[in-house]
Amino acid sequence: MNTEITIQQASPKEWDKITWLWPLEKQAEAQIRNEKKFKQISTGERIVILAEILDKVIGVVQLELVHPNPEMADGKTTAHIDGLRVDQKYRNQGIGKRLMAEVEKIAKEKGFRKIVLGFSKGLTHEFLSKFYSEQGYHFWKEKDDNMTSIFTKDISKL
């Protein structure tokens, strides 16, 4: 059987395809959030990239082009990576890194020079610091709440 993983941009109507990537108890909340976020694909404020295997979504990453805080995304030079997630069963097979490489390529093609992303200081902080550092990101600052680390990468020279 051909089990090739495809990476492609999502359309707004595909918003409910990613719900199952969250643990059961978080799916209702994720559903509401994702429906709202996918609407921003139509307005050009967001790009969503899906990793699929046999038409089933197994990973997602989102690029926010405009953010209320222009330090995070200003629609011109800085874009914000939001919502990278790979299904538990498919982790550690390079899918997360493939999604990151694809989203950076698209951001660069659109003329963005800098990517910003944040992750919380929870249990996975050390792993995520390493994961993003390996891909050229570096620590920029802590968010005001002091619960989130902001990392950034210059993609202008990719």
Task: Of 84, 90, 77, 93, give the one whose Cα is nearest residue 118.
Answer: 84
As a whole number of angstroms, the distance between CA 34 and CA 25 comes to: 15
**How many residues sit close enough to ligand COA to count as binding (CB under 6 A)?**
16
Cβ–Cβ under 8 Å, residues 46 and 63: yes
What six digits make up the tokens of 24?
């059961």
Selected binder of ligand COA within 13, 26, 39, 97 (CB under 6 A): 97
Q: Does 17 bind ligand COA (CB under 6 A)?
A: no
Q: Tokens representing 134?
A: 């390996």
Nearest residue (CB) to ligand COA, 65 versus 95? 95
Q: Structure tokens of 152? A: 């950034």
Shortest separation between residue 82's beta carbon and ligand COA, angstroms: 8
85 vs 153, beta carbon nearer ligand COA: 85
17, 46, 85, 153: which one binds ligand COA (CB under 6 A): 85
Full DSSP string of 69-125: STTT-BSSSEEEEEEEEE-GGGTTSSHHHHHHHHHHHHHHHTT--EEEEEEESSTTH
Position 66 contacts ligand COA (CB under 6 A): no
Q: Shortest Cβ distance from residue 97 to ligand COA (Å)?
A: 3
User: Is residue 84 close enough to count as binding ligand COA by CB under 6 A?
Assistant: yes
In the set 54, 69, 70, 94, which binds ligand COA (CB under 6 A)?
Answer: 94
In angstroms, how far is CA 49 from the centroid of its own chain?
8
Told to check if 22 binds ligand COA by CB under 6 A, we report: no
- Binding positions for ligand COA, rule: CB under 6 A: 84-86, 91-97, 119, 124, 127-128, 131, 134
